[in-house]
Chain A
């Protein structure tokens, strides 16, 4: 078979490593084969490609970021003021994350549940954080590691002006620079040259420029670029990027109105509706958020995020049977994660389906490889033990939870309550204190300590 044909076919079937090898051998024979050069670039890019719409926040924005317009916005018009209105249910308040927002149904990179106030408070986002956008660093290094004979393209020796004029090469080269090398500045230079060359008629380049601007924290410039791109060609990705920019500017209401504009152009589009639902959830409006999630599910009945969020809403609104239906649906779609089995177990427990409860938790324990998740499963198992009236078992479960995650404030709090019940008030006090130290925002330990002091 012709090697070029084979390489193309491998690229189509996403066997990127083999494709790169073949392209390398073609380039060894004919160093000036532009097609192979371009294909190798595409394969290298695709191999490390991360959807930057789902990328993580860089917390640096939060503290040293002056893009935000209002410093004291009215309630309900900003994502930064945490409101304390949490749905109270028969199961108690919906649990909250370290920063005081009610816990969400799906963890995704960029889940900002509350914003750290100072550099020291940057404890818990859904992943560990770095001082600058981690993606940019990671891509540059990860790509270098796998290549024995140095980088594929010497970026510093690249004649950007020449390549910006070649229509077939400039886009792959840009994406290579942006995603593979993580070299924002050169990518931006290429984008500027290319967009000049096509006389500002190509919306693609405007979006790429906006990507570079927002990576360099020039938010308003990015906004301009996307707006002009949208005038040329309405595209879902452009809408979502603009929405994200307004979220970074902390203007949720503009973002919401933009979502609605987007939905007029693309009726019932799932990704824009997801943005809308996430936004309203971040604004602490669970009812309207669930309404949007429902419309997502009507459109796309396989959307895990929407189904899980609806399930969680029902669970904390005292309808565990309904929640169980949603989580079982996710299960039948083929997801097998410890979190899912844990949620199924909890739903079974509260909807009195006791024959399945322990089986689900057993599965969750088997699958839990991350200590934090393991800790949460043990924490929830302690509730099963308490429901069965077995205080000794509950204490064991909570101890195991603390073994896996020594900073689990809720576990400290519950352990203290159980010890207090079994007549060890001093131990209880110590546990309450450490619970409060680990998570000052959690109301329960403080209240419990006051009760202890009054007694």
Chain B
């Protein structure tokens, strides 16, 4: 089971089966007494930070919950709210964008002077952002240096095959094919800037197919990274089959236990975060019907009632690309505070 949506969508009130951890997903931090100030003010809840997403669920009724993928986060802020009488409370502001819609989340720690919800979210998000090579297709990136692969921290290289033809262009180009436990990388011998790095996470299928160049290794990437079809050719035939075998076995091993590459160490570990795959070990599970329409979404919209951005157009007036203006408005009208007629 590859990743479906966990790290790149915001979901509300998901069913318990979806709240469970995915393969390879780990709980990094778990905090009680967190209030979701924007949507369920006054509810005590629990915040669970995994290496793919941030989960929040209410303690009273766990079916009220949020799942925020780390990939959706645009900005993280902290604000000091409430004044001296209550003691200062730090609220965590998350701005996210999912399927073209902006959502805002505000989490408040109900314990005094506890900053952990903030530090761990920021830390995990940083670790997630800096480890994109583990999870995403990269074309013409800076992954190769002096004919050597820049190895990721959790990566082991298994084989390094020279003289592999990439069949993307008509005449093909000669290059080197590197297989590791996380991804494969191919780069051209002539120009190492011409390269591709594709993690197994994004691979749909690996086959040998007939092409106009003879038998070739065909690798399809999945929809999330753009349905690429990559063809590679190795001579002799035997070598090609060996490569296929190696790739498929590594691919299945990886898929049984994905490595997402998000590493996070506690500098001040107060309590061992229990690594249970069942989040609800102390809650009664009541399975709810899956396809209930929920309108909780509207409570979290960052700009009220704004679902989708309009398409960008060129503005003659400013000489810039702008979001197309609504019917009956003009730039001048929107800019002016005091309308001139």
Contact = CB atoms under 8 A, between A and B. Distances in A.
B335 A369 contact: no
Interface centre among B80, B83, B91, by most chain A C-beta atoms within 10 angstroms, is: B83
Contacts of A297: 337-338
Contacts of A151: none
B293 to A, nearest CB: 24
Contacts of A367: 79, 81
A368 interface: yes
B17 interface: no
B88 A369 contact: yes
A371 B335 contact: no
Contacts of A366: 81-82, 91
A142 interface: no
B338 A298 contact: yes
A368 B338 CA distance: 30
A298 B336 contact: yes
A412 B108 CA distance: 34
B84 interface: yes
Interface centre among B81, B91, B337, by most chain A C-beta atoms within 10 angstroms, is: B337
Interface centre among A297, A329, A367, A370, by most chain B C-beta atoms within 10 angstroms, is: A367
Nearest to B84: A371
A298 B340 contact: yes
Interface string B48-92: 000000000000000000000000000000011111110010010
Nearest to A336: B79
Interface in B295-340: 335-338, 340
Contacts of B340: 298
Contact of A368 (B83, B91, B335): B83
Interface residues of B, number: 14
Contacts of A368: 83
Interface in B90-107: 91
Contacts of B336: 298, 301
Contacts of B91: 366
A403 B335 CA distance: 42
A204 B236 CA distance: 80
Contact of A326 (B81, B83, B337): B337
A329 B333 CA distance: 13
Contacts of A294: 338
A262 B254 CA distance: 73
A278 interface: no
Interface string A292-336: 001001100100000100100000000000000010010000000
Contacts of A386: none
A404 interface: yes
Nearest to A370: B83
A329 B337 contact: yes
Contacts of A301: 335-337
Interface in A321-366: 326, 329, 366
B80 A369 contact: yes
B83 A371 contact: yes
Nearest to B80: A369
Contacts of B335: 301
B83 A374 contact: yes
A329 B339 CA distance: 13
A359 to B, nearest CB: 11
A360 to B, nearest CB: 13
A403 B82 CA distance: 15
Nearest to B83: A369
A371 B82 CA distance: 10
A344 to B, nearest CB: 14
B125 to A, nearest CB: 22
A296 to B, nearest CB: 10
A347 to B, nearest CB: 15
A301 B81 CA distance: 30
A403 B84 CA distance: 11
A374 B335 CA distance: 33
A288 to B, nearest CB: 16
Nearest to B335: A301
Given A297-B337, A297-B338, A403 B83 contact: no
A214 to B, nearest CB: 35
A305 B194 CA distance: 54
A374 B83 CA distance: 8
A329 B79 CA distance: 22
A304 to B, nearest CB: 11
Interface centre among A297, A369, A371, A374, by most chain B C-beta atoms within 10 angstroms, is: A369
Contacts of B81: 366-367, 369
A368 B84 CA distance: 10
Interface of B: 79-85, 88, 91, 335-338, 340
26 contacts: A297-B337, A297-B338, A298-B336, A298-B338, A298-B340, A301-B335, A301-B337, A310-B337, A310-B338, A326-B337, A329-B337, A366-B91, A368-B83, A369-B80, A369-B81, A369-B82, A369-B83, A369-B84, A369-B88, A371-B83, A371-B84, A371-B85, A374-B83, A374-B85, A404-B83, A404-B85
Given A298-B338, A310-B338, 14 more contacts: A297-B337, A298-B336, A301-B335, A366-B91, A367-B79, A369-B80, A369-B82, A369-B83, A369-B84, A369-B88, A371-B84, A371-B85, A374-B83, A404-B85
